[in-house]
Amino acid sequence: MRQLNLIFMSAAIMLTSCAGTKDTGQTEPIIGRSDIKIEGKRMTPEALWAMGRIGGVTVSPDEKQLAYTVSYYSVPENKSNSEVFVMNADGSGDKQITHTVCKENEVAWIKDGSKLAFLSSESGSSQVWEMNPDGSERKQLTNYNSDIEGFSFSPDGKKLLFIAEVKTIKSTAEKYPDLPKASGIIVTDLMYKHWDEWVKSAPHPFVADFDGKGISNSTDILKGEPYECPMKPFGGMEQLAWNPASDKIAYTCRKKTGLEYATSTNSDIYIYDLKTGKTIDITEENKGYDVNPQYSPDGKYIAWQSMERDGYESDQNRLFVMDLATGEKRFISKAFESNVDGFLWNKNSRSLYFFGVWHGETQIYNVNLTTNDTITQLTDGMCDYASLALAGNKIIAKRHSMSMGDEIYAVDNSRNGNAFAAVKQLSFENKPIYDQLEMGKVEARWMKTTDGQEMLTWVIYPPQFDPHKKYPTLLYCEGGPQSPISQFWSYRWNFQIMAAHGYIVVAPNRRGLPGFGLKWNEEISGDYGGQCMKDYFTAIDNMAKEPYVDKDRLGCVGASFGGFSVYWIAGHHNKRFKAFIAHDGIFNMQMQYLETEEKWFANWDMGGAYWEKENKVAQQTYANSPHLFVDKWDTPILCIHGEKDYRILASQAMAAFDAAKMRGVPAELLIFPDENHWVLKPQNGILWQRTFFEWLDKWLKKH
């Protein structure tokens, strides 16, 4: 088994140059490939950031090999890097084939499997390169005039579909050439900011001829229109697809700008005909999100994910299939009362595999189109599956849990009688670290809520848990607000590192989370201070009855909607808690309605604008704004926020911190000027973890 790529231990490795790789195929091997030594088997921030993070996985045309990427992080250099690996489809022969600092990404098999294509910044901008499957003979294939952000070769290998940014807004210097150093941005409509950037451009799909050596005759499929494809901030090449005949491209687009874009989620699936240059909209009648098209292998069908209602970004994500000959459309995942989070056609074009969350676990399913869309669950266990590919009679998938990050697995593509499909782990990227760590037990508990429902709550215990001792305990509040508490693994909100610091973690699947039926999922919009908050109290009060939970040392933590939850609970907890931590949370809901960029979210979840005095749902929402209950705050609180977070502005945390200090409540503020809704830079991540635990230990640990 290969040694751990421990780049965080050596600053020198990040100084490795890409120069010369055109001739040699690789630079010198990375320095510091040795195992990390962990004292006391306790998870630390440094151990988390030393872990390699597996990216995309792709199968060779002969289905005998897998190629995948792994990202590594250097804490001293405060940078990341990604490398390409190849292994046999049975997991043997695992080998790193690139050794540069050029961030090799988006690896794909081309030329009948004789070459690997990938994105690299080796030439100064991100372009498409190719190499042999052993990493030799690196060669640049594109020299486009800007960064290529994603790509896909046509099935016949004669064309290249790629993504690049196009300017959509004239700069100040272009309007006033005599003011070239002016930094002001003139805003005339909404969506002037999005996620973590001031919007000046949009990604567009281009298609170009490819002769095996390079590209020519590139065409903007959107024809210069000011729309996004793929859609920001998270869309990638999964939002576009070639048909098997290589003469059509299906793509996802929300053809709206400004106020219309800011208030609507109505995206559609379009089909662009390369021969005629014409585009048709195949989902015009649906008013919510339509995303991620995939053609069936025989080219007769197209499938995609679809949400029904405009403005509701957490509507049920349904799997649809269209017969391209007849135009008939079917909602084929109807029997699965949760979200389809990803899918893949079977080779026979008669069934599809998909994964989705149910009761806190994300499993793989098969839906059969020839038997009235019968759905069969293929996998089980306390884990989440993600990403799907086919290799022979195996499904190649990534899998993670609350106790282990992503690794690559092979899953049988069918069940053996009543038994679930056989599963084999193929990659062991972080085994040298896991072997030195002692993980805490993860337990599922069902609890009776105040309205008589059953709620799944995950409980994570410290390593070497002793039921005869008393432990400080944390209530974890999930974000979203409608993202599941499944078996997720996080490099920041990591339950095992909380447990390793001696805390019991209580993570309830409160009202408004998917995986428990549509009604449960929808009982939060317009009711932020309602049943979901009662569910939180149910979870912590239930656990506080256990003899090993110290009810005098309870903490409450969360981010995004979880941060809102912390701010709200701080004014309603009746002295249950002794410490709070809120990250990127909403403090003042009236200001949030105007500050956030995606107005559809605020309109749906808050029920409307705060000035709509006759709108009872909206008025109930704003009456539950956390800032209205600061007079009840009496417990130490840590507020964390990123200044590049345009989803929830950092002014929310600053206001909460100021309010606490003016009330005489012990408070601390951690601001990241260069982070968005997440914390992505290695040193900021370490700082986040240290500050997080210093605050909790200060108020919850006995001295």
**Which residue type sits at 399?**
R
Would you say 215 and 142 are in contact if contact means Cβ atoms under 8 Å apart? yes
Q: If 0-12 CB within 10 Å is exposed, 13-18 middle and 19+ buried, where does residue 96 land?
A: middle
Q: What is the secondary structure of 420-455 as a DSSP string? A: PPPEEE---TTHHHHTT--PPPEEEEEEE-TTS-EE
Would you say 383 and 431 are in contact if contact means Cβ atoms under 8 Å apart? no
Q: How far apart are CA 113 and CA 116, in angstroms?
A: 7
* DSSP bridge partners of 576: none
Q: How far apart are CA 43 and CA 38, in angstroms?
A: 8
Query: Active-site residue numbers?
Result: 560, 645, 677
Would you say 231 and 254 are in contact if contact means Cβ atoms under 8 Å apart? yes
Q: How far apart are CA 191 and CA 30, in angstroms?
A: 43
Cis peptide before 76, with omega less than 30 degrees from 0?
A: no
Q: Cβ contacts of residue 248 below 8 Å, gap of 6+?
A: 242, 271, 272, 273, 274
Per-residue burial over 468-480, b if 16 or more Cβ lie within 10 Å, else e, is eebbbbbbbbbbb
Q: How far apart are CA 50 and CA 230, in angstroms?
A: 32
Q: How far apart are CA 239 and CA 229, in angstroms?
A: 8
* Structure tokens that stand for 358 in this block: 């149910």
What are the E-state strand segments in 10-52? none
Query: Distances from the Cα of 221 to the Cαs of 273, 375, 387, 423, in angstroms?
Result: 10, 36, 27, 41
* Structure tokens that stand for 45 in this block: 């921030």
Residue 537 DSSP SS3: helix
**Which residue type sits at 203?**
P
Q: Please state the separation of Cα 63 from the chain's center in Å.
A: 28
Q: If 0-12 CB within 10 Å is exposed, 13-18 middle and 19+ buried, where does residue 88 land?
A: middle
Alpha helices (H) along 18-150? 21-24, 45-50
Q: How far apart are CA 365 and CA 425, in angstroms?
A: 19
Q: What is the secondary structure of 324-374 as a DSSP string? A: TTT--EEETTTTS-S---EEEE-TTSSEEEEEEEETTEEEEEEEETTTTTE
Q: How far apart are the first and last CA of the chain?
A: 44
Cis peptide before 133, with omega less than 30 degrees from 0?
A: no
Q: If 0-12 CB within 10 Å is exposed, 13-18 middle and 19+ buried, where does residue 438 land?
A: middle
Cis peptide before 230, with omega less than 30 degrees from 0?
A: yes
Which among 529, 678, 651 has a CA at the least distance from the CA of 594? 651
Q: How far apart are CA 554 and CA 558, in angstroms?
A: 14
Q: What phi, psi does 643 have (nearest 5°)?
A: -75, -15
What are the E-state strand segments in 238-337? 240-242, 248-253, 268-273, 279-281, 290-295, 301-306, 318-323, 329-331
DSSP 30: P
